[in-house]
A and B are shown apart, each in its own frame.
Chain A
Amino acid sequence: MSAEMQMRPAACPACAVAPSAETLAAAGAAAPKEARLFLSLPTIHCAACISAVERALNGTAGVLDARVNLTLKRVAVEAGPEVTADRLIEVLAAIGYEAHELDPGVIAATATDRAGRDILMRLAVSGFAMMNVMLLSVAVWSGAADATRDLFHWVSAMIALPTIVFAAQPFFRNAFAVLRHGRLNMDVPISLAIVLAAGMSLYETAQHGPHAYFDAALSLTFFLLAGRYLDHRTRAVARSAAEELAALEVPRAQRRTGAGEETVPIAEIAVGDVVLVRPGGRVPVDGVVAEGQSEIDRSLLTGETLPAFAGPGMALSAGEVNLTGPLAVTVTAAGQDSSLHRMADLVAVAESSRNRYTSLADRAARIYAPGVHLLSLLAFLVWLWISGGDLRLALNIAVAVLIITCPCALGLAVPAVTTAASGRLFRRGLLIKDGTALERLAEIDAVVFDKTGTLTLGAPEPTNLGDHPRRDLEIALALAEGSAHPLARALAEAARQAGLHPARVSDIREVPGYGVEGALGGETVRFGRAAWVGAGAAPGSETASWLRVGARAPVTFTFADRLRPGAETAVAELVALGMKVRLVSGDAPGPVADLAARLGISDWQAEALPEDKAAAVQALGDEGRRVLMVGDGLNDTAALAAAHVSISPASALDAARVASDIVLLGRDLAPLGGAVATARRATRRIRENFAISALYNMIAVPVALVGLATPLAAALAMSASSITVSLNALRLR
């Protein structure tokens, strides 16, 4: 193309100017490159929301167009380069809508669903052709004869043949690809039946034969494409939601340069750069602290709930959260080399070992495909022998057998059930990422939970507020409000809820890594780490913060991790289903025992390393149990990948979400028990559908074998079985 464009000026000197004008125009059109921003709007739900959001965004300076997609809960904004996502998020926050920026690079892949549209188009064409051919067929079935019948058959052929060439392509392509590798799958008998039915019908039509199976070939294509489309829909919904989760974390870092600092994508960070990490930010790279003091929350990586002190010289890993003070970090590994990414790679390896699981549909197809071909060949040979060499009759019967056994119901049975089941689970906040996850979830009989971030929210809650005099609490509240540390925030929230008001503490300042300090009536008051307020060592493993007023002995505030909503219900329901429930955590024994007692889990293990977690899952597997692993941290990824099926909450690290088969979208754990029940019901429906298919084959195949299968019988049987399995799948909704 470009070569041709360059040739043209040389061939025609006179019009040498024209192409350059063309390119100029093209460049001019492309020059104001519109920044395309995507925002996720999790709370949007109504017609009024749509117009409110669109009006607000269109009223913002620099925005050219904004359009809400309610199905995806997302807004696409076309805007000039000066408009930033943060600005738009502020605009939406002002009118009361929560918004998050999405990474356009990740989202773009799902913005247009080409494959889905392709199948839908083929489905429409085959549906159109099927209806028209069936109308003509009804005339033939009800007694049209001779020339009229031939005319109708010819018209049917004219409609059916191009349709089959176009609409059945996905099956032909798959079948061809599989045959080249010398294997069989469901698409091979399908393709063979479609091609033979069409070819045989054409031959019969030309020979003025009474039977043509054009309508059967078309309805076969139509029903199977419907199954294919359902399957695609399920996967597309899961994929787009999973990618949206990934796109929510726009990976950027603050890099310090000679002139100041700049925001750059993670990919541009190199070893030796200095990256700034603000309080509350996630450490984007592996590195060593160069400047600053702070506390680091590494609960996602290790399961340890107690924040760790961080000062110059300390090594940090990507994924840890900086809590109190700004840090400058010298990069030692970034991007693909960071520990986060290495872990994700390990998971990819573990994943491939699990892919050995074959779904029910594949197992059925493995028996089905060769069986059908053998049966059809047998019919051909036997009839050739009975009729004394009548090739046409024998072939006719062989084709009838192939058509009537063809797995309309089988091809619809699994997709229809999984679509209904995943839709039901999605509405309850569970996202099925993997095609076979539902079947594997139905088989589990043991559950391993991680503690921090999974059964608990990873957010602390004060436990001994009642032990302190009101005055102390008021001072603590005043100091706690001066900090963004999670312990301080939790204390402030709880104290406010108890109806307390802060004491008049002046000169409040935060000492990063230690605590908050202030002055009250000439006395210094401090709230923070034990050593800093002069309290000696912290007692045991409890998460605690200390308050010291003047010269008085310090008092301690203890905290416990807050339970995730629905955790009690989920554990109780799983136990009621007869599961063996185990709690394995990287945290200290104290908090783990405490939580286990609260939830009624008798089997627990503390201070588990990532290998211990994987080993715990493995041990249960060796007992012959099928394990469900629920976890969220980097230390859980190995166990998630080793388990029979795994679930992680949406708040988990990217690596953990990648490793798990199912993602819990909401905060609530309660749907877990129901999910297992739904999965079991879905598997039962799939088996029922297989049974229905088998039953229908048991009746239809002997009819076809003795040569009594007319096109009418084939059409009736095929439609009846397809509709039966679809309706059976709908019972799940």
Chain B
Amino acid sequence: MYEHDVIVVGAGGAGLRAAIAAHEAGADVAMVSKLHPVRSHTGAAEGGINAALREGDDWELHAYDTMKGSDYLADAPAVETLTQNSPEETINLEHWGMPFSREDDGRVSQRPFGGLSFPRTTYAGAETGHHLLHVMYEQVVKRGIQVYDEWYVMDLVTTDEPDPNDRECHGVVGYDVQSGKIEGFKAHDGVILATGGPGQAFDHTTNAVSCTGDGHAMAYRAGAPLEDMEFIQFHPTSLPSTGVLISEGVRGEGGILYNNEGERFMFEHGYANNDGELASRDVVARAELTEVNEGRGVNDEYVHLDMRHLGEERIMDRLENILHLAEDFEGVDGLIEPMPVKPGQHYAMGGIEVDEHGQTCVDGLYAAGECACVSVHGGNRLGGNALPELIVFGKRAGRHAAGDDLGEPEIKTGYGDDVEDETDTELPVAPGKAGLDTTGSVAADGGVTAEADGILERSVEAAREHVDSLIEKEDGVQHAEIRAKLQRAMTDYVNVFRTGDGIRKALKIIRECRQEYQNVYVDDPSRTFNTDLQQTIETRNLIDVAETIALGALVRNEFRGAHWRQENQTRDDENWLKHTLISWDDGEPSIFYRPVILDGENKTYEPKERSY
């Protein structure tokens, strides 16, 4: 058994920042990650970091843009925390040596991004995430923070009181990918989940294959609700063949979208008469697919993104990485021809419900980064707002877990008096545990005051038995088959355009996946670097997460942000200024709602119609 004060699960942007902050607050910190830190998906972020740094801009403008971009489903205290802290945190990265792009006077450059009223996206070429990740890993090395790399965290170790608000998290169960060894990690002060997005629930995604929603699923099964999972961002510009991301920076620098008739459709077909290509992402993604559906797509599949007119010099200075991506993955030279692009799953606005300190309703359990929902993105995340979220809320989670006093949070978590109950939406199939054993959910055996070491040992034992049974099973279904079916269903039915019937079909297929998973087995008998085993466990997580996405999408019968419903093509503020929460209630998902907080420090963000 390993012991530390704070254990950070995941070593991307949020995890690294959390670990550094906890370390600075005096805690003994360890990071446990299924990848080596520099392999984390934060490295694939391209665009930049929104921060109100310059004269003419301020945090209130940034907060206003973010609330509007969210379609008024973000919580104002979280948004204001983000926008107030982002400048300091961004400059802090500069102080750590981050190679930001520069202006003639040597200051960091900023550029326009979609949905922003000021060019406040601070960037490092078109590879901002790569530099952010490496700079923070460098700081972790400098501080000598312990990293258990290529250790896959399988489970949280949590007490099992009936009410999740009474539960306590004592650590995690980890699996050493290289040796197959399974061990407990005891956390004296807290566990911070920073496991990234669940993009692999879809089959056309910009996300890495490692983005399997492990943190989401573990927290969910431990009792922390998942919030606003129906809000999935489809990035307007991903490469059709692979899903590789083409940064919004291309449009920020002046890139233009054309349909197969050479029309600049964002204007010519009236999708966004003011902002055109720089409308927020949900607007542009719908516009592109509408063009394709109406027969104006290129090869009936995608549209063109043209940056040739920007000139070689500017492209090489600010977007060089995009040239390489288009060339390597699509065989297109962006200097002489337009690039093919289409919407691809990109980001989960929802996630593990947390307050401004990163705390879930389970004592000692935190979440930060894309796996968390604090919520700053609401129905639609603005480009350039994910990276500041990592550093601002990663840091806060790290400090709080290490014992720093951050005051009383304004955002509530867990089931309580302020929530609105159950939905009456009819579900197509009984969701939840049907057909699936619950191995590896809450691990204690009923003792309300169960002692930490005992729970940890039992959890480790259960995980070992679980792995043995998967490996020893002689035949059955392989995870790859189930995963492919799940991804296909989500892409077919829970995509940019959604219908009630489609979502119901998806839920039925997800249920089938659950049943098939009961018969899953691992073909590779080896304990050494058994990726077959790891992916089998990940696939179970994907099933849980996909189900919450589809359930949320089914019950929210309005159109808000990235969530479009054919039956209800208008935003319904009267009934839906509230967050969807889904909690794993004894193996069955149950749904409740919490009102959105629109009251900020100095003002109330009154919902207005979004026009771009």
Q: Do A and B bind each other?
A: no
